[in-house]
Amino acid sequence: MLHDFSIKGARFGLRPVTRADARYILGLRSNPLLNRYIGPTSGKLDDQIAWQERYEARSGDWYFMVTDGLTERPVGTIAIYDYDPNTDAAEWGRWILAQDTPAAVESVFLMFKVAFDVIGLTSLYSLTNLANQAVVSFHDSCGVPRARILHDWTTATGELVDAVEHRVTHPIWIKIAPRLEMLSRRLAGAPHERG
């Protein structure tokens, strides 16, 4: 859906995806070094633009470009979607970053900040193929609890795999936010605030 949520961190920021970003997004999603665990992409710019047009018409779907504050250039994408108004919960994903960027921690920190402090969600979860050990380990190291293992989870390509659901509730966000912010600042080379 079209939204106007933007946020800046110690180095990186999130801003709404626009149609002008379609070529860059297609390049990320078409990169064989980055797309092993994501859904298939047609490789056609017109198809990416059409997908983004459908995204704009959906409610409960906030799609962001991750940008580098040093260069103002995009370095990836991240999204909050499948919002359930009955539970104030949503899923997050569409997370793909350029290989040469240290934006992982800060992009997730900022996405959580938007989800809990701006949108007002009570719960946010992600589903990750257990074979994608780098991402599973990343979630674990950020202090995001594993909620459950899903056996025979169907991927975007129709493959049945085991997946792990990591879930953050608002109380957990309050607990892990200071650590994620500190890591973000450290990775960005920003000075620590003293209090």
pLDDT, tens digit, 9 for 90 and up, residues 93-122: 999 999 989 999 999 999 999 999 999 999
Q: Which residues contact 178 (CB under 8 A, 6 or more apart)?
A: none
CA distance 6 to 85: 22
User: Residue 193 — pLDDT band, cuts 50, 70, 90?
Assistant: very low
pLDDT, residue 194, reads 39
- Asked if residue 11 has pLDDT above 60, the reply is yes
Q: pTM for this structure? A: 0.92
Range from 37-41, 141-145, 167-171, 190-194 carrying the lowest mean pLDDT: 190-194
User: Residue 192 — pLDDT band, cuts 50, 70, 90?
Assistant: very low
DSSP state letter for 114: I
Range from 49-53, 79-83, 183-187, 189-193 carrying the lowest mean pLDDT: 189-193
Domains of the chain by start residue, with CATH: 7-188 (3.40.630.30)
CB burial of 102-123 (b: ≥16 within 10 Å; e: otherwise) equals: bbbbbbbbbbbbbbbeebebeb
CB burial of 137-149 (b: ≥16 within 10 Å; e: otherwise) equals: ebbeebebeebee
